[in-house]
Each structure stands twice: as C-alpha cells, then as structure tokens.
Chains A and B, each alone.
Chain A
Amino acid sequence: MAEITLVEAVAMAQARAMQDDPTVLVLVLGEDVGKDGGVFRATDGLLARFGPERVRDTPLAEGLIAGMSVGLAAQGFRPVAEIQFMGFVYPAVDQIVNHAARLRNRTRGRLSCPMVLRMPTGTGIKAPEHHSESMEAMFAHMPGLRVVIPSSPAKAYGLLLAAIRDPDPVIFLEPTRLYRAVKEEVDDDGEAAELDRCFVLREGTDITLVTWGAMTRETLAAADALAEEGIHAEVIDVATIKPLDEETILASVGKTGRCVIVHEAALTGGFGGEIAARLADKGLLSLTAPVRRVAGWDTVMPLPRMEDLYLPSVARILRAARETVNYQ
C-alpha cells in the first residue's frame, strides 16, 4: 500500500473506475486533462493508460464541458468532468441547475444524468484572483444534486469512486489546500466510501465540532488543543453536504449538547446555517448552549496576501468552542 496525496488519490480513483469498467462508459474530460494531466495533475497518467477517446481535452468552455456531460450521461456514459477551478464553474451552472440536476425528474426517469463534475475548491495556496472561493452552499441549494467534499486522500479515493458509480449527478469539490498537504496510505482496492453520510473523525463527549473539506484540519487541531484543556470534542466530517445526514449530527449533539460549525465559505447563506437550522428544528431541547458558526468573513475573497486572514483559524475555532462549552 502506497502513501499518496489527495490529488494522487483523485487520479487513482478515476483510473480505478476506468479500469474496472469493461463497458468503457467512464470517460474523463475537461481542459488540460490529457497530456498535461490536469493543472493540479488530478488526471495524471490517465491519457497514457486509457487513450484519447476516454481521456479528452475539451475546448476552453465550461458550459460545454457540463452540457456535453449531460448529453453523454443521458446516453448512458459516465463522464467525470473537471472544471479547472471553482471560480470558473459559473458558465456551467446553467447546465447543472437547469439540466443535470433535473433531467431524471423532468423525464420521469426516462433519461438520467450519472455524471461527476469535479473541481478544486477553497483557498490556501496563494493562487490568483478567482481561484479560491468555496461555493458549496450554492450547489447544495439545487434540488437533484449530490454535493461531496473529501477531507483526506482515503476519503477522496473512496468518495470519488462512489460518485462515479452513483446513478445521479455529483458535484465533487476537492479542497485545493489539501491536494498535497498530507500523505496517507490508500489501498487501491476499488472500495467505494459511503455517500450521503457524515463521518465521525474523533469521538468526544463535551462538544460537537461539525465541518467538512479542508477545515477538518484546523478543526482537528482545535480538538487536540481542547483535549489538553480537558474538553473532549467530537469532530464530524459532513463529507456529503447534500443530501445531508442529519441523523449523525443530531445524535452527536444529543450526546454533547453543544455545537460549533466550521466552514471556509462566507458566513451568510453558508451551509452552516442549514445545519444550525436543523439543530434548532430537531435538536433544540438537547442544546445547552447556542449553536455557533466559525466561517469565512462575508467579504469578497481576498487576494493571496490576505487570504490567511480570511480562513477560519484554529484560534477562532478554539475561542468559539470555549465560549460554547462555558456558556451559562
């Protein structure tokens, strides 16, 4: 078993899905996914292994990438399309919301859309303007989609395999900051991880910290620091933000009575608000303190020189967690 990065796991999952597919339905497409192997190398080696019919560089047009994926998927193929950065996905959003997300419903199941649209998300690598936003809540608001965000190489491998095998459209958001941040042993065993469920990364009894994607790192670091203060935090990685596994979150908060939600995206309209609302709706009586959110500021994403000031820090998480635990 090899130790690999998250971006290598993404490539490995795609290779695995293509290799395990005797019907040759899994296709990889996008800008620079061929010879270049993707600007982050998330499709590295695929062209050499599977050839230009299955690994296809497209013209530079995101609406085309999403729209042709809808056409391919309606024909029974399983396109895995890359949008180079989340900041460039907007021309494709028309296709995602108006077609991919509703093709099955509007044809009453006659046509469906088993496609995956992968893209890097989030800040933290000092990339130029428009390369750092976290817009998962926008996709989570669209009925008919799955929105999945891995938090580790193993999760990226397992969840991406699951997404490719899923019969419905999946928006697969890969935290840019994690692409090469950590290495982990990942067995290329073709085992998919479970979609539509949260993962408990760390068990605890005093407070529940709910997060996803890259913010799992700061949140786990905060949990370590809290443990030294005698506060045992449970850390939940939501992983699939839509459809949301509220049971796991409610069960955890039922145990701890306290919750802080951590995400990188801007606070207002962020997905943390949805989780807080579910807690208010179904978990209010188990809460012993108000639900707090630690999120990106409601500012335009700063350019790289100030991006660190935007990201929720371990210190901010700790402050919110301590205040929540000490709330009277």
Chain B
Amino acid sequence: MRAEGDIGPPELDPARYWPLLRYLDKAGAAIAPLPETLDGRDRLVPLYRAMVLTRTFDQKAVSLQRTGRLGTYASSLGQEAVSVGVGASMHSDDVLLPAFRDHGTMLWRGVTMTEILQYWSGDERGCDFAGPREDFPVAIPVASQATHTVGVAMAFQLRKQPRVAVCILGDGATSKGDFYEAINACGVWNLPAVFVINNNQWAISEPTRMQTAAATLAQKAVAAGITGSRVDGNDVVAVRDAVSRAMDEARQGRPQLVEALTYRLGDHTTADDSRRYRDDTEVSARWQEEPVLRLRNYMVGRGWWTKADEEELIRDVRAQVDAAVEDYLSMPPQEPAAMFDHLYETLPPSLAEQRRMVEDSDG
C-alpha cells in the first residue's frame, strides 16, 4: 500500500480536472452563491426535513437491533446529504438501483420506513415497495446493481423515454469489475444512467487508499469515456446541484459518474465494531463536518430556521418514526409456505410437494 498522499500519476491534478463542488463550508457558511433554483427556505426545508427523518430513522433502527427487534442493520449516519440529495434530484419515474445504505434516497422516493424495517428484520415483503414499483431492492453483493443499471437505462433508451437509471455505490464498489463493466457499457451506448459513488471513506475496515491508488474515484470515469465529477457529499446543496446536473446530462444520453465525498460516522453495520480499525479522533473530527448541522447552521444564519421550528420538526419526525415502528412490529409474519410462492410465476408441480411439507410441518 502506498502512503497517504502518494497517490495517482503526478501529471493528473485532481483539483484541476475534478474540482470539488461545494457551496456550504463545514460551519454552514456559504462560500459561493447558491444556485438560485436551490436556495431559499421553501427549497431547503424539505431537504433538511428529509435528512433529519433519515437520521432519526437510522437511530431508531439501530436501537431496535440492539434490543433484539431488528436484524443486522446498515446505518447511513453522516451520509444523509448524499442519500437525500440524490433522491431529491430524481424524477419520480426515474429508477433507483441502490446499494444497502441509501435509506434517505429510498424514503424520498416513497419506500416506507415500515418496508425498510421489514426488510432488515428478514422479511422479503419489505422489498415489495408500494411506492416506487420499478425501483430495485437494495443490492447486498457489492456493485452487483451496477450492471442492472445498464439494462434499466437501455430499456428507457429503447422506449425513447426521458428517464434515468440511478445507481448508488460505495467507494469499495469501485474496486469491482462490475462497476467498470457498467460505466464502460453506458459509455459505449450513451445510456441515460447516473452512477453516484457514496464515498464514505471506509469499506468496512478498509479506507479508500487501500482500494485504489487513484487520487479520486471520479477519474475512473475517464477510462470509460464518460464524465466524472466530485462533490462535497456533506453539503446537500452541492449534492443536489451536482446530481441534478448529472441527471440532465444523462437524460440527453450522456452517462455520468458523480463521486460524493462524505464520511461513515457509524459502524459498517450493527454487526461491526469500527473501534477495531479506526481512531475515535478521526471520527470526532469528522463530526465537525456532518451534513445535518451544516444545513441547519446555514438556514439559521439566513433567519429561515428557529429553535421552535427545530423542536416542532423533531417532534413530528419522531412521531412518524414511532408510527412506522408500531406498524412494523404489529405486522403478522409471513405464512411459512410463502417461501415457495414467488420462486416462479407458477410453482412447478415438482415443488408443490415440498411446499406441502412446509405447510404441514409442525417445526
């Protein structure tokens, strides 16, 4: 492994070719004028609300897991701006192909908290989204959703529909062949696809510098002949701007790769203990950059958000989460034989016997 800082061919200056888009600094002060279409209380409050909802939901999910009422769960703590920013940049008839940490995007698109909890409790019905019927369920095998994105985007292109397939991947996913195969194919066919890398710096215990010697992940687009860009993933305004622009380009048949730089403030999942491989000092430093406080500071500074607004929002969001948890906990389990009912459109006779055995089984 190379030392930190010793990365990339020296002739490639990432700051020149892949400048980092950012509007709000760590403290929430505007370092550049915000795009007009994104600025303003009415535009920012929904993003803020969605980020707070995502964080509250994540916290509740982790506590449900800790108390034995949920299975292993992957929190998106610290990455809410990427998640929400992507969701808010999509049209409702676009299709999302998420990894497994994109709850904010899924919630924005109408997947319910109850469904997400159901899935992570180990119940397939949680992937039968009542809302976005064409969106893919989470992809657990890393990067495997990237090539599905090619097929979905090709479907839009063949039907001449102005829709975009949006794939979210982690930084670890960019080490896999699937990722390259997918962006490469999108380049060959000019497909309407956007790949967003949620670069949260850690793939379980491996930091990004163990994944690649490339100075950025955005530059991997070059080898595929598509456009890459970088954005501060803790600045939801910047994410919203970068991804919206990428979506516009993709809709014209120019596939895009967007690297969003953020940080995984939590463990990989509830089954992980990140203290084994990273310093608390690193994590506490990163808490100073987190996206929710950043946007709140900006809105407070503009006089758009008061203590009373915050208190009301927290109350409201908690009530929503609690109601979803109640729904989730009161859901009757699936019938045991349900494991056979969606294997094929019609269950072959040879499997009917096994289904009967499950139905008749007393354990």
Which residues of A are interface residues toward B (Cβ below 8 A)?
Answer: 24, 27, 53, 58-59, 61, 63-64, 66-77, 79, 91, 94-95, 98-99, 104-112, 143-144, 146, 167-168, 196, 243-247
Contacts and interface: CB of A to CB of B under 8 A. Distances in A.
A92 to B, nearest CB: 10
A105 B342 contact: yes
A58 B154 contact: no
Q: How large is the interface on B (under 10, 10 to 19, 20 to 34, 35 or more residues)?
A: 35 or more
Contacts of B178: 63-64, 67, 94
Interface string B148-161: 11111111101000
Nearest to A67: B147
Interface stretch (B36-44, B121-129, B204-212): B121-129
A106 B124 contact: yes
Given A68-B150, A144-B344, 13 more contacts: A61-B184, A67-B181, A68-B147, A68-B185, A72-B151, A75-B134, A75-B155, A77-B155, A95-B147, A106-B124, A110-B129, A111-B134, A243-B348
A107 B144 contact: no
B341 to A, nearest CB: 8
Contacts of A91: 177
B137 interface: yes
Contacts of B127: 106-108, 110
A67 B124 contact: no
B331 interface: no
Interface in B237-274: none
The winner among B129, B136, B156, B339 for most chain A CB atoms within 10 A is: B136
B342 A104 contact: yes
A104 B147 contact: no
B124 A108 contact: yes
Contacts of B181: 59, 61, 63-64, 67
Contact of A245 (B133, B339, B350): B350
Nearest to A61: B181
A25 B86 CA distance: 30
Contacts of B341: 109
B154 A71 contact: yes
B345 interface: yes
A110 B137 CA distance: 10
A74 B132 CA distance: 13
A15 B110 CA distance: 41
A196 B342 CA distance: 17
Nearest to A66: B147
A24 B124 CA distance: 32
A58 B165 CA distance: 19
Contacts of B133: 110
Task: State the majority secondary structure of interface residues on B.
Answer: helix
B351 interface: yes
B144 A94 contact: yes
Interface of B: 95, 97, 124-125, 127-129, 133-134, 136-137, 140-141, 144, 146-156, 158, 165, 177-178, 181-182, 184-185, 188, 339, 341-345, 348-351
A146 B350 CA distance: 12
A68 B155 CA distance: 10
Nearest to A168: B344
B128 A58 contact: no
A53 B165 CA distance: 19
A71 B165 contact: yes
Contacts of A98: 140-141, 144
A59 B141 CA distance: 22
A314 to B, nearest CB: 31
A109 B154 contact: no
A109 B339 CA distance: 12
Nearest to A240: B348
A58 B147 CA distance: 12
B10 to A, nearest CB: 31
Contacts of A94: 141, 144, 178
The winner among B147, B152, B155, B350 for most chain A CB atoms within 10 A is: B147
A70 B188 contact: no
8 contacts: A59-B185, A64-B147, A64-B181, A67-B178, A68-B147, A70-B151, A74-B148, A106-B137
A143 B134 CA distance: 23
Nearest to B176: A63
A108 B148 contact: no
Contacts of A61: 177, 181, 184-185
The winner among A68, A167, A245 for most chain B CB atoms within 10 A is: A68
Given A67-B182, A244-B350, A104 B345 contact: yes
Given A143-B343, A243-B348, A244-B350, A74 B147 contact: no
A168 B343 CA distance: 9
A68 B144 contact: no
Nearest to B159: A75
A243 B154 contact: no
B343 A68 contact: no
A245 B352 CA distance: 12
Given A61-B185, A94-B141, A110-B129, A71 B343 contact: no
Contacts of A105: 124, 339, 342-343
Nearest to B153: A71
Contacts of B351: 243
A39 B351 CA distance: 37
Contact of A243 (B124, B182, B350): B350
Contacts of B154: 68, 71-72
B151 A71 contact: yes
B342 A95 contact: no
